[in-house]
Structure 1
Amino acid sequence: MATPAAILGHGGRLGAARSAWPDAPKPWLDLSTGINPWPYPVPLLAPEAWSRLPDPESLRRLERVAATAFGVEDPARVVAAAGSEALIRLLPRLLTARCAAIPARTYGGHADAWRAADARIVDLNDPAADLRVLVNPDNPTGRVLSTDQVLDLTDKPLLVDEAFVDVDPARSVAALAGAPGRQGLMVLRSFGKFHGLAGARLGFLVARPDLATRVRRALGDWPVSGPAIAAGLAAYADTDWAVQTLLRLADDAARLDDLLRGVGFTILGGTSLFRLARAADAPRRFEVLARAGILTRPFPWDETLIRFGLPGPQADWLRLANALESLR
């Protein structure tokens, strides 16, 4: 059967998958995203986190804690929002760029947002561009540019989406974003992917202070929920958890590579949160896995590609291994 368009557009479309394959075993195993399957253990939240409006000082405290985590000296350059997606949609309305340079095969939300703001989309190195957008590490390929390569692009305003950089923190340029001499550099950071708490909807912009102020005003008085603020404050302060998680994800990514290679996939790259694999008969393999209740991520621009997120508990690894065996 033809893959539903909603599944081709983004990962995590379990509703579309359930409709397309109603007889698949339940519960579905969703491997279509790059979200840590072992989420941060958020402490029990105080009832006030749910019953009261978020306190502005708590939000500022979260931005200070996030600034420290990102290596940003001035917390005034860090803005919290309800997920980096909210910032992706907002920034084109605040910035004056009318021609945005965005790679063709990267996270599609960026081009969608700039088109909605009536900007023209061109290739990353097109001289007509008055702003560039880069996803680093890239989603979905995992391609990573070095810090020097990223900074070489800052001859024009540059927005860097670092949604997956927590697994390779040395690649981040967030510490430089909006600093003197780097006023045109803007960085987006995501909380939910590395911390496995995508439902919290928490993300950050790092930018020069005047732009950060404009974004805060545009977002309004309560841009982040009380529970998300509490989760962020706890998680960003827990550096021991982050160190152990980096090691665990690296081991699990290597384990997944072995599984996929064992059934004939070629590993093209990814991060330790997802792996990009190729097979000549990838559409058939995607369909077989879907009928087994395992959702992966296909791509409309190359039918030989499938992206796999990481399984979590051992039962999920065994379920994936058994389904992959049927591909032999």
Structure 2
Amino acid sequence: MSEAHLDTAAHMIAHGGNLHEAAQRYGIPWDAWIDLSTGINPHGFPVPPVPAGAWRRLPEDDDGFAACAARYYGAPDAQHVLPVAGSQAAIRALPALLPVLLPAQASAARVAIAPLTYGEYAPAFAQAGHVVVPLDIASGTLPEDAMHAVVVNPDNPTASLVGRETLLHWHAQLAARGGTLIVDEAFADAFDDPQANSLADTTGRSGLVVLRSPGKFFGLAGARCGFALAAPPLLATLRARLGAWTVSGPARHAVTHAFADTERQRAMRTRLDGESARLGALLDSHGLAPRTTPLFAWVVHARAARLQDALASRAVWTRRFESPASLRFGLPASEDEWRRFKTALGQAMQELE
């Protein structure tokens, strides 16, 4: 990633889940595919019947939804939680709310972002006037001239995980410069101890933002609901930027129910641990050396484009990345999908030989 303003107006940012596009490209009916292109839990939490009032009434900020999220995530209280229309809404809005110029200088502020991570962050910061510089997660150090930093933890797609103490150290460094650390914990819920590396409980500190999403672990991506956790002054500014009614009544109902279902949460984490191990073992049996989280596996492979194509011709859709050449695999949704994926992967690997 070059130290420059990124021009993103000319192209759309690629994401997984684009199954209709794959169906058209390969001439295979949409409902015949195994979609492994996202890290969304294929065993989504059930949504109870939605009360009629959730459709008829406008959502109200004092309905207890923020407090429910604060309890689930371990934030200090409801004043430190802002429901948003998916964490994507906060990703697009936050860069414009953070300082762009370095103190007492005319140069633009630098924001450190890993070269391969969730693809929406770098364009959003560049469009707001920041300069994006590479963040080397493995080194454990921030660029000396960075004013802000973004860490997706665990990372999507590389599965790297930064420890809590390192994150707190980075936050202290950035806060001393008048900057901000943004930690995206969209995939944290699937771990056995979701709070082990989370900074949700520290979001009373200035210069810290934690983003959470029920879309991945709970399988509620279609609800378009997320949460920004931060000190109240920043959340007040973000709320003013986003406007009213950011999360619909039916979405609030579904997410509240999922947060309360602690028994299903425990059982689901156990299930995902087993399925993640199964996926890792299958990929490893073909020499693909995966790095895994409970919801997806990432594989670096010199012929990733060819492997994606070979799998797609067999109605298995994956997410491909360019640098390094790699694929991300989500979890199959059923035993039939596991069987079909195992067969397709074996055939595709033979085709690459």
Moved more, 279-288 or 141-150: 279-288
Moved more, 15-24 or 45-54: 15-24
Deviation at 1:280, TM superposition (A): 4.0
1:167 aligns with 2:170: no
SS of the aligned residue for 1:45 comes to coil
Deviation at 1:118, TM superposition (A): 1.5
Equivalent position to 2:265, from 221, 242, 265: 242
Q: Is the 8 A contact 2:13 2:120 kept in 1?
A: no
Equivalent position to 1:271, from 290, 293, 296: 293
Stretches of structure 1 that go unaligned for 5 or more consecutive residues are: 1-5
Letter in 2 for 1:173: L
Matches within 5 A, 1:92-131: 92-97=95-100, 98-124=109-135, 125-131=142-148
What residue in structure 2 maps to residue 3 of structure 1?
none
Deviation at 1:281, TM superposition (A): 3.2
SS of the aligned residue for 1:153 comes to helix
Cα deviation, 1:285-309, whole Å, max 9, x if unaligned, reads 2111101111101111122x21100
Matches within 5 A, 1:23-34: 23=28, 26-34=31-39
Deviation at 1:8, TM superposition (A): 8.3
SS of the aligned residue for 1:133 comes to strand
Letter in 2 for 1:152: H
**Greater than 3 Å deviation, 4+ residue runs:** 23-26, 278-281
Equivalent position to 1:214, from 230, 237, 249: 237
Distance 2:200 2:98 in 1: 19
Cα deviation, 1:223-248, whole Å, max 9, x if unaligned, reads 10111100111111111111111101
Matches within 5 A, 1:1-328: 9-23=14-28, 26-58=31-63, 61-97=64-100, 98-124=109-135, 125-154=142-171, 155-156=173-174, 157-168=180-191, 169=194, 170-177=196-203, 179=204, 182-267=205-290, 269-303=291-325, 305-326=326-347, 327-328=349-350
Sort the Cα spacing of 1:232 and 1:307 in 2 relative to 1 into closer, same or farther, 3 A. Answer: same
Distance 1:131 1:8 in 2: 22
Distance 1:76 1:114 in 2: 26
Deviation at 1:107, TM superposition (A): 1.0
Q: Is the 8 A contact 2:184 2:210 kept in 1?
A: yes
What residue in structure 1 maps to residue 139 of structure 2?
none
Stretches of structure 2 that go unaligned for 5 or more consecutive residues are: 1-10, 101-108, 136-141, 175-179
Q: Is the 8 A contact 1:8 1:298 kept in 2?
A: no
Distance 1:204 1:116 in 2: 22
Letter in 1 for 2:268: T
Deviation at 1:9, TM superposition (A): 2.2
Q: Is the 8 A contact 2:44 2:219 kept in 1?
A: yes
Deviation at 1:271, TM superposition (A): 0.8
What is the number of residues matched between the two proteins? Answer: 317
CA RMSD of aligned residues (A): 1.8
TM-score scaled by length of structure 1: 0.92
Letter in 1 for 2:78: P
